[in-house]
C-alpha cells in the first residue's frame, strides 16, 4: 500500500514510544523539527510508576458481563465507571483494561500489582501467553447470542465515557493517555483477537474524541464571536471583567482544541496508518468506515488529500466487504454541505476511473454502491464524468442484477430523462392538431427513452429497460402519452421515425406486462416470486387503468401498424393482460366486437407463424368461462376455426389428392396448414371433422418425400395436437372402449409413421420428428397406467430400433462441431443452439423419467467434457437423475461411455492408443469429471464404483478374435480405470483385484512395456496405503501446515537447495523400484455458470439448473512415483480380508 517515507518514520517512532512509555516524553523532545512541524505532534505525558492502591472495585458486575448483557444501558454503565474513575483513577483504568482483555477472549487477569509495576508491553506479552490457542474464535466474531451485542455495546460504552468526561478527565493527561497507549500496544499484537478488538475500540475512541473536537470548535467559534462583539462595543459600554473572562475562555478552548488534535494525531499515526492495511478484512473495514466518519464530522481537519488518499487506495482492496465500506464512506463525503467541493477535486480526478471500473465489480453490492456514488458525484458536479464514463453506466440498465440495473436507471433518469440533458430537449411540437398536448412533459421523456433504447442496439431486452426504470419514473404508466405519440400523423421533425415507433411499441408492451403482473424479467429476482399484498393491489389497479385505456386504443393501433409483424405481435401481447370485466362494467362490448373482427382479419391476411400464434394466444386468453364475454368470444373462435378447416380441406384436396404441384397450390396448402396448426393447440376440432383431418394428416406424412418440409412439419405438429385433444377429452377413470381403441390405433399408426420419417426425412423434418417422438413417448409412457389404470392400453414403449434411431440422431445433429462460418449471423447461431438444447432436453426426459434404459445416455455422457459449454447443465442434471434411478446402472453406463470414447479415439489414431498419446488425455479428462459424481462417501457408492470397475475390466481385457495369446487391444483402458481406484474402499479393492486375477489367468505372461497398464492398475489395487497418499496429495493438504511451508527436515537446506540435495541422493535400483506415472487429479473448483448461449433447457422436466464443479483439463498435473509390489505381492489371498460374499459375489459375476 502506498505511503510516504516521512509518515512511516513518524509511525515507527510512535510505536516505539508506546512500547517504552517511560521514555516517551524524552524521545519526543528529541524529535527533529521537521517531524514536529509536520503535525505539531505533542505526545501524551509519560506513564509514571505508581504505588499500589488497594481499593475495592465497584460492587456491581465486571464491565465485560455488563456489556454482553442485552438489557444493559450503556449510558448508565459508563456513568458508574466514571464515578469509579473519579474516586480512584487507577482502579477505573484497571477495570477498563480488564474489559479490553476479556472482550478479546483472553482468560488472563490484570491485577493491581501488574498495573503498578509492569509496562504496557509487558502486560500485553503476559496476556498473550495466557491466551487460549485451542480455538480461533473470540467474542467479536462469534455467532453466540451472548455476544451478538458486544460490538455495539463496546462502541456505545466508549462513546458515553468520552462524552461524560469531555469537560473534565479528557484533558487530565491521564485517562485518554493510558487508554490510547494500552490499546495501541494491543493493536500491534500478533494475536488476531487482540488486534481486532483493540482496533475497534481505538477507532471508536477516536470517533468519540472527534465528536468532542467538533463541540470544542463550535464553542471556540461562539466564544470568538462573543469576544469580538464585546470588544467592538463603545468604551463606555465595555465590561472589563466580561472581556477578560471571554479572553480566558477563548484561550482555554484553544488549549483544549490543541490537546485534542494532539490526541487524534497520535492515535491516527500510531494505529490507523498500520491497521487500515491489516490482513484481517474486518479490521480494514472498521478503519476505513471510521475515517469516513471523521472526515464528515470534522472536515476542517480531515478533508485533506493526506487523509483522502487512504480511501482512494482502499478502493483496490481484494475483499468486497472492504471495498463496499470504502465506497459508502466516499459517498458520504460528496453529500457534505457546500464549501468543500474544491477539496475533493483532486481526489475525484485521481480515482474517478477506478470508481467507474467498480460499477462492474463481481460483488453486486459493491457495483450498486459504485453506481450510486457516481450519481452523487454527478449531482455535485455535472461536468466530472465524461460521456464515455456515463455510457458505461447507462449500459448497466440491462444488467441481470436488478439492484445494479435500478441504480444505473436512477443515473440515466437524472442525466438524460429528468436531468439537464432531458430538459434541453423540447417537448415535441405537433402542429395545431396536438397543441393542447404539447404541455405534457412525458412526451420528451418518452422520446428520450426511445432514442436511448434505439441507440443501445439491445432491441430484444426492452423488458429489462422497463423493469429498471419502473420504480423510478412514473412516465412508464402514461398510456395516453404513448398512444398519442404513436398515433401522431404530423410530418414535423419532432415526429417519431418508423424505427422509433417500433421501439416505443416494444417498450409499451413491456410496460403493460409489468403493470399487469408485477413480475420481474428472467434472471432478476426469484423465479417464482410471490407478490406482497401491497404489490398485488397495485397490480390490480394498474391493470384496470391499462385495460380501460387500451380497450379503445388497441384496435386503432392495430389498424395503423398492422403491416409489421413485430409491431402486431407486441400489440397483441397487450390484449393478453386485459381485465376482461372492464368490457361489461364499462359497457364497451362494441370494442370487443371490433377487436375480434380485427383478429379474424389478421388471421386471414397474415401467414407468419409468430403472428398467427399471437392471435391464437389472444383467443385462448379471452375464452375464459369465468367472464361474461366467453360466449361471444367462443362463438367467434369456432367460426374462425371452421373457416380455417374449410380452406385447409380445399387446399389439401387440390394439392395432395389431385396432385396439383403448382406454386400457388403448394402455398395455399402451406398457409392453410400453418393457420389450422396454430389454432389446433387451443381449439379441439369438432368430432364430425376429426376423421377427415386425421386421414389427411396421415396420408400427407406417408407422402412426405413429395411434400415440402414446411408442410410436413406443420402436419406433424397438428397431428400431435389432435392426439392430445383426444386424450384430454377421454374419461380417465372409465373411458369409452371404442374411443380408447380408436386412440390406441391412431397413436400407434402415428408413431410408426414418425419412426419411418426418422430414417428417410430431411434435416428440417427430422428435427421436428425427433422432438415429437420424444414428447409422445413421455405422454404415452408406462407412467400413464400408474396414474390412470384404465388407460393402460394406450401405453407405447420404444423398441430397440427406435432407441437406436434416437441415439443416432444425437450423434448426427446434436453433438457436432459448429462450422466456423463468418457469414452466419450471430442471432442465427444462438437460435440454432437453442434448438439443439431443446432437442437434447427432449431426449434427456426419456432417460430421466426412466422411459428408456439408462444405457441410452452413453452418447450424452460421452460428450460431457467436449460439449460442456453448450450442454453442461443438461448433461449434469441428466446424470444426477440417472443416479437417483439406479447408481449401479449409471456407473455401468459411465464405463461404457468411456469405452466408446476410447474406441473412437483409438480408431482415429489408427486402431490403437496408449496412455502416452496426447489424445488419451481426452479420455482421462472425462474420467476425472466422472469421479466427481461419486462424491466423498465411498460406502454409499461402493456398489456403483465396483460395477464400473467390473465393466471396465471386461472391456479392457477383451481379446481380439483370432489372437488369443496376444496383448488385448484395449489394455490401455486400464489406465482410465486408475482414476476410479481411490473411490473403492479397502475391502472392495481386494474383491476387484480377485476378479482381475481370474481374468489374468487366461492371459499370456505379462512382461514388457505393453503390459504396463495392467501392472499399474494391479499395483493400485494392491498398494492401498500408496493410493491413499496419492489421492490425499491430489485433493487436499494437511490442515496443520500452510501451503508451501518448509518441514523441519528441509528447513536448513533452504528453498533453493532442495533440487541439489535430491540430485546427490543415490538413484533407485531398477530391480526394486519402477517408476509408475500416475497423473492424479488436481482439482480446480469454482462456480460453473453453464452456457449462456443455451438459455433454459426448453423442457419442463429439466427446468432445474445446477452449478457445475469445473476441472481444468489443460492444467498440468504432477507426476508421482510409486513403488511397484514384489511378484509375491501380486497375488491376493482370498482369506486375507476379502470375503467372497462381498458385494454379492461381486455383483453376481
pLDDT tens sequence across 52-98 = 333 333 445 788 888 888 778 899 999 999 999 999 999 999 999 99
What's the gap between Cα 112 and its chain centre? 55
**Cα–Cα distance measured from residue 201 to residue 153, given in angstroms and rounded to the nearest whole number:** 11
pLDDT surpasses 60 at 1056:
no
Q: Which residue has the higher pLDDT, 20 or 265?
A: 265
pLDDT tens sequence across 602-612 = 999 888 889 99
pLDDT surpasses 70 at 10:
no
**Cα–Cα distance measured from residue 16 to residue 31, given in angstroms and rounded to the nearest whole number:** 13
Torsion of CA 224, 227, 233, 234, to 10 degrees: -140
pLDDT band at residue 1006 using 50, 70 and 90 as cut-offs: low
pLDDT of residue 18: 38
Full 3-state SS string of 516-535: HHCCCCCCCCCCCCCCCHHH
**Cα three-residue angle 357-359-360, rounded to 5 degrees:** 75
Q: Which residue has the higher pLDDT, 916 or 686?
A: 916
Q: How many CA atoms lie within 13 A of 199 on its CB side?
A: 32
pLDDT surpasses 70 at 839:
yes
pLDDT surpasses 90 at 242:
no
pLDDT band at residue 247 using 50, 70 and 90 as cut-offs: confident
pLDDT surpasses 50 at 1132:
no
> What global pTM score does this model have?
0.75
Mean pLDDT of all residues in 917-922: 82
Q: How many CA atoms lie within 13 A of 748 on its CB side?
A: 11
pLDDT surpasses 60 at 200:
yes
> At 665, which helix (H) or strand (E)?
helix 663-680
Q: Where are the alpha helices (DSSP H) in 70-174?
A: 74-87, 89-103, 112-117, 120-129, 150-164
pLDDT tens sequence across 639-683 = 999 899 989 999 998 888 888 888 888 999 999 999 998 988 888
Least confident of 229-243, 674-688, 834-848, 1051-1065: 1051-1065
pLDDT surpasses 80 at 1149:
no
pLDDT band at residue 821 using 50, 70 and 90 as cut-offs: low
**Cα–Cα distance measured from residue 1141 to residue 346, given in angstroms and rounded to the nearest whole number:** 80
Contact 100, 195 (CB under 8 A): no
Q: Which residue has the higher pLDDT, 1098 or 368?
A: 368
pLDDT of residue 349: 92
Q: Where are the alpha helices (DSSP H) in 496-580?
A: 498-517, 533-560, 565-575
Q: What are phi and psi of 1120, to 5 degrees?
A: -110, 145
Q: Which residue has the higher pLDDT, 766 or 818?
A: 766
**Cα–Cα distance measured from residue 521 to residue 495, given in angstroms and rounded to the nearest whole number:** 30
Query: 442-456 vs 479-487: helix axis angle to the nearest 10?
Result: 70
pLDDT tens sequence across 794-814 = 999 999 999 999 999 999 999
pLDDT surpasses 50 at 32:
no
User: Would you tell me how many other CB atoms lie within 10 Å of the CB of residue 902?
Assistant: 24
pLDDT of residue 1055: 33
pLDDT of residue 826: 74
pLDDT of residue 1123: 36
pLDDT band at residue 329 using 50, 70 and 90 as cut-offs: very high
pLDDT band at residue 433 using 50, 70 and 90 as cut-offs: very low
User: Would you tell me how many other CB atoms lie within 10 Å of the CB of residue 86?
Assistant: 12
pLDDT of residue 530: 86
Least confident of 296-305, 479-488, 978-987: 978-987
User: Computed from CA positions of residues 558, 564, 570, 575, in that sequence, does the dihedral angle turn out positive or negative?
Assistant: positive
**Cα–Cα distance measured from residue 543 to residue 533, given in angstroms and rounded to the nearest whole number:** 15
DSSP 1120: E
Residue 329: name the closest of 316, 319, 315 by CA.
315
Mean pLDDT of all residues in 161-181: 92
pLDDT surpasses 90 at 1083:
no
Classify residue 1120 as exposed, middle or buried by CB count within 10 Å of its CB (0-12, 13-18, 19+).
middle
- What does the block give as the cell for 1010? 505393453
1105 forms bridges with which residues in the sheet?
Answer: none
pLDDT band at residue 15 using 50, 70 and 90 as cut-offs: very low
pLDDT band at residue 418 using 50, 70 and 90 as cut-offs: confident
Q: Which residue has the higher pLDDT, 946 or 1095?
A: 946
> At 1058, which helix (H) or strand (E)?
helix 1058-1064
pLDDT of residue 8: 38
Q: Most confidently modeled of 28-37, 234-243, 265-274, 1067-1076? A: 265-274
pLDDT surpasses 70 at 1067:
no
**Cα–Cα distance measured from residue 127 to residue 198, given in angstroms and rounded to the nearest whole number:** 14
Total residue count of the chain as it appears in this document: 1149
Mean pLDDT of all residues in 25-50: 36
Average pLDDT, whole number, for the chain?
79
DSSP secondary structure letters along 330-369 = HHHHTTSPTT-TGGGHHHHHHHHHHHHHGGG-SSHHHHHH
pLDDT of residue 1080: 27
pLDDT band at residue 717 using 50, 70 and 90 as cut-offs: very high
pLDDT of residue 228: 79
pLDDT tens sequence across 767-786 = 999 999 999 999 999 999 89
Mean pLDDT of all residues in 258-283: 94
pLDDT surpasses 70 at 1088:
no
pLDDT tens sequence across 139-158 = 888 887 778 888 999 999 99
**Cα–Cα distance measured from residue 921 to residue 1111, given in angstroms and rounded to the nearest whole number:** 13
- What does the block give as the cell for 408? 444505473
pLDDT of residue 339: 67
The owner of cell 403491416 is 563
pLDDT of residue 510: 95
Within the chain, what is the greatest distance between any pair of CA atoms?
134
pLDDT surpasses 80 at 33:
no
For the chain, the distance separating the N- and C-terminal CA atoms, rounded to the nearest angstrom, is 66
- What does the block give as the cell for 326? 470504502
Amino acid at each position: 500500500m502506498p505511503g510516504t517515507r516521512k509518515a512511516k518514520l513518524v509511525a515507527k517512532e510512535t510505536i516505539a514510544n508506546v512500547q517504552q512509555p517511560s521514555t516517551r516524553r524524552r524521545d519526543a523532545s528529541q524529535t527533529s523539527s521537521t517531524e514536529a512541524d509536520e503535525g505539531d505532534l505533542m505526545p501524551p505525558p509519560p506513564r509514571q510508576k505508581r504505588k499500589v492502591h488497594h481499593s475495592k472495585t465497584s460492587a456491581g458486575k465486571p464491565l465485560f458481563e455488563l456489556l454482553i448483557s442485552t438489557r444493559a444501558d450503556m449510558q448508565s454503565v459508563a456513568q458508574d465507571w466514571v464515578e469509579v474513575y473519579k474516586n480512584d483513577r487507577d482502579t477505573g483504568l484497571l477495570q477498563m483494561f480488564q474489559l479490553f482483555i476479556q472482550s478479546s477472549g483472553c482468560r488472563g487477569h490484570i491485577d493491581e500489582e501488574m498495573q503498578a509495576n509492569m509496562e504496557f508491553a509487558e502486560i500485553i506479552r503476559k496476556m498473550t501467553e495466557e491466551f487460549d490457542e485451542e480455538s480461533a474464535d473470540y467474542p467479536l466474531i462469534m455467532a453466540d447470542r451472548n455476544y451478538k451485542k458486544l460490538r455495539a455495546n463496546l462502541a456505545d460504552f466508549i462513546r458515553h465515557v468520552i462524552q461524560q468526561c469531555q469537560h473534565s478527565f479528557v484533558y487530565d493527561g491521564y485517562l485518554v493517555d493510558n487508554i490510547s497507549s494500552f490499546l495501541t500496544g494491543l493493536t500491534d499484537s500478533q494475536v488476531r483477537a487482540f488486534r481486532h478488538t483493540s482496533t475497534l475500540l481505538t477507532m471508536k475512541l477516536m470517533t468519540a474524541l472527534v465528536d468532542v473536537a467538533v463541540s470544542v470548535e463550535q464553542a471556540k467559534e461562539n466564544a470568538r464571536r462573543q469576544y469580538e462583539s464585546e470588544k467592538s462595543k463603545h468604551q463606555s459600554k465595555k465590561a472589563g471583567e466580561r472581556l477578560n473572562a471571554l479572553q480566558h475562555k477563548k484561550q482555554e478552548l484553544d488549549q483544549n482544541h490543541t490537546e485534542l488534535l494532539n490526541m487524534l494525531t497520535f492515535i491516527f499515526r500510531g494505529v490507523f496508518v498500520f491497521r487500515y492495511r491489516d490482513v484481517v478484512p474486518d479490521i480494514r473495514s472498521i478503519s476505513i468506515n471510521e475515517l469516513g466518519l471523521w472526515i464528515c464530522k470534522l472536515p476542517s481537519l480531515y478533508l485533506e488529500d493526506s487523509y483522502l488518499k487512504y480511501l482512494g487506495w482502499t478502493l483496490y482492496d481484494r475483499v468486497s466487504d472492504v471495498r463496499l465500506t470504502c465506497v459508502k464512506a466516499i459517498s458520504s463525503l460528496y453529500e457534505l454541505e457546500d464549501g468543500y467541493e474544491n477539496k475533493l477535486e483532486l481526489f475525484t480526478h485521481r480515482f474517478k476511473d477506478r470508481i467507474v471500473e467498480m460499477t462492474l465489480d463481481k460483488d453486486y453490492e459493491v457495483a450498486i454502491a459504485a453506481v450510486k456514488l457516481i450519481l452523487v458525484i454527478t449531482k455535485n458536479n455535472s461536468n466530472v464524468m465524461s460521456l464515455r464514463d456515463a455510457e458505461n453506466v447507462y449500459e448497466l440498465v440491462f444488467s441481470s442484477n436488478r439492484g445494479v440495473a435500478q441504480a444505473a436507471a436512477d443515473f440515466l433518469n437524472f442525466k438524460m430523462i429528468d436531468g439537464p440533458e432531458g430538459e434541453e430537449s423540447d417537448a415535441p411540437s405537433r402542429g395545431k392538431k396536438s397543441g393542447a398536448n404539447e404541455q405534457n412533459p412525458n412526451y420528451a421523456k418518452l422520446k428520450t427513452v426511445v432514442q436511448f433504447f434505439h441507440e443501445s442496439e439491445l432491441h430484444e431486452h426492452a423488458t429489462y429497460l422497463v423493469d429498471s426504470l419502473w420504480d423510478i419514473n412514473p412516465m412508464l404508466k402514461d398510456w395516453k402519452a404513448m398512444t398519442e405519440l404513436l398515433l401522431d400523423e404530423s410530418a414535423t421533425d419532432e415526429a417519431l421515425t418508423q424505427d422509433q415507433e417500433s421501439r416505443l411499441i416494444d417498450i409499451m408492451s413491456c410496460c403493460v406486462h409489468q403493470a399487469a403482473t408485477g413480475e420481474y424479467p428472467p434472471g432478476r429476482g426469484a423465479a417464482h416470486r410471490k407478490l406482497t399484498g401491497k404489490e398485488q393491489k397495485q397490480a390490480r389497479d394498474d391493470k384496470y387503468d391499462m385495460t380501460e385505456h387500451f380497450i379503445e386504443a388497441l384496435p386503432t393501433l392495430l389498424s395503423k401498424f398492422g403491416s409489421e409483424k413485430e409491431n402486431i405481435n407486441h400489440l397483441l401481447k397487450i390484449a393478453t393482460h386485459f381485465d376482461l370485466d372492464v368490457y361489461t362494467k364499462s359497457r364497451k362490448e362494441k370494442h370487443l366486437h371490433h377487436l375480434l373482427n380485427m383478429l379474424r382479419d389478421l388471421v386471414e391476411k397474415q401467414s407468419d407463424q409468430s403472428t398467427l400464434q399471437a392471435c391464437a394466444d389472444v383467443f385462448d386468453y379471452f375464452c375464459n368461462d369465468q367472464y361474461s364475454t366467453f360466449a361471444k368470444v367462443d362463438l367467434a373462435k369456432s367460426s374462425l376455426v371452421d373457416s380455417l378447416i374449410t380452406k385447409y380441406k380445399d387446399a389439401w384436396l387440390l394439392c395432395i389428392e389431385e396432385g396439383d404441384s403448382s406454386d400457388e397450390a403448394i402455398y395455399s396448402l402451406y398457409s392453410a396448414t400453418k393457420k389450422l396448426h396454430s389454432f389446433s393447440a387451443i381449439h379441439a376440432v369438432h368430432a364430425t371433422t376429426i376423421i377427415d383431418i386425421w386421414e389427411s394428416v396421415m396420408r400427407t406424412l406417408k407422402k412426405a418425400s413429395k411434400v415440402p418440409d414446411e408442410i410436413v412439419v406443420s402436419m406433424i405438429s397438428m397431428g400431435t395436437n389432435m392426439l392430445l385433444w383426444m386424450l384430454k377429452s377421454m374419461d380417465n377413470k372409465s373411458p369409452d372402449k371404442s374411443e380408447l381403441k380408436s386412440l390406441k390405433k391412431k397413436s400407434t399408426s402415428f408413431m410408426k409413421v414418425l419412426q419411418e420419417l426418422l430414417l428417410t426425412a430431411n434435416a428440417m423434418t427430422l428435427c421436428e420428428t425427433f422432438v415429437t417422438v420424444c414428447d409422445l413417448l413421455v405422454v404415452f409412457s408406462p407412467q400413464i397406467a400408474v396414474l390412470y389404470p384404465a388407460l393402460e392400453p394406450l401405453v407405447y414403449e420404444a423398441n430397440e430400433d427406435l432407441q437406436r434411431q434416437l441415439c443416432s440422431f444425437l450423434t448426427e445433429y446434436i453433438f457436432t462441431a459448429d462450422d466456423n462460418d463468418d457469414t452466419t449471423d450471430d442471432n442465427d447461431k444462438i437460435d440454432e443452439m437453442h434448438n439443439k438444447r431443446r432437442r437434447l432436453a427432449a431426449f434427456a426426459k426419456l432417460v430421466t423419467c426412466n422411459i428408456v434404459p439408462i444405457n441410452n445416455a452413453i452418447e450424452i455422457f460421452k460428450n460431457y467434457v467436449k460439449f460442456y459449454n453448450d450442454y453442461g447443465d443438461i448433461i449434469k442434471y441428466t446424470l444426477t437423475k440417472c443416479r437417483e434411478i439406479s447408481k449401479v446402472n449409471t456407473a455401468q453406463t459411465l464405463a461404457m461411455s468411456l469405452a466408446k470414447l476410447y474406441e473412437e479415439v483409438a480408431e482415429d489414431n489408427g486402431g490403437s492408443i496408449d496412455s502416452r498419446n496426447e489424445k488419451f488425455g481426452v479420455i482421462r479428462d472425462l474420467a476425472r469429471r466422472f469421479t466427481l459424481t461419486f462424491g466423498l462417501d465411498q460406502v454409499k457408492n461402493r456398489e456403483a464404483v465396483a460395477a464400473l470397475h467390473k465393466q471396465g475390466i471386461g472391456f479392457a481385457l477383451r481379446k481380439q478374435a483370432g489372437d488369443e495369446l496376444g496383448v488385448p487391444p484395449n489394455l490401455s483402458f486400464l489406465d482410465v480405470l486408475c482414476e476410479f481406484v481411490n473411490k473403492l474402499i479397502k475391502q472392495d479393492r481386494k474383491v476387484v483385484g480377485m476378479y482381475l486375477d481370474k481374468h489374468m489367468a487366461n492371459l499370456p505372461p505379462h512382461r514388457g512395456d505393453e503390459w504396463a497398464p495392467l501392472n499399474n492398475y494391479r499395483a493400485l489395487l494392491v498398494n492401498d496405503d500408496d493410493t491413499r497418499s496419492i489421492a490425499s496429495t491430489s485433493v487436499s493438504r494437511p490442515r496443520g501446515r500452510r501451503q508451501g511451508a518448509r518441514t523441519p527436515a528441509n528447513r536448513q537446506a533452504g528453498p533453493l537447495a532442495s533440487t541439489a540435495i535430491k540430485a546427490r541422493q543415490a538413484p533407485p535400483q531398477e530391480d526394486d523400484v519402477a517408476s509408475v506415472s500416475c497423473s492424479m487429479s488436481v482439482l480446480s473448483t469454482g462456480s460453473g455458470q453453464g452456457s449462456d448461449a443455451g438459455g433454459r433447457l426448453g423442457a419442463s422436466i429439466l427446468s432445474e439448473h445446477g452449478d457445475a464443479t469445473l476441472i481444468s483439463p489443460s492444467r498440468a498435473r504432477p507426476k508421482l512415483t510409486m513403488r511397484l509390489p514384489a511378484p509375491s505381492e501380486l497375488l491376493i489371498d482370498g482369506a486375507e480380508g476379502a470375503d467372497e460374499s462381498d458385494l454379492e459375489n461381486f455383483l453376481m459375476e
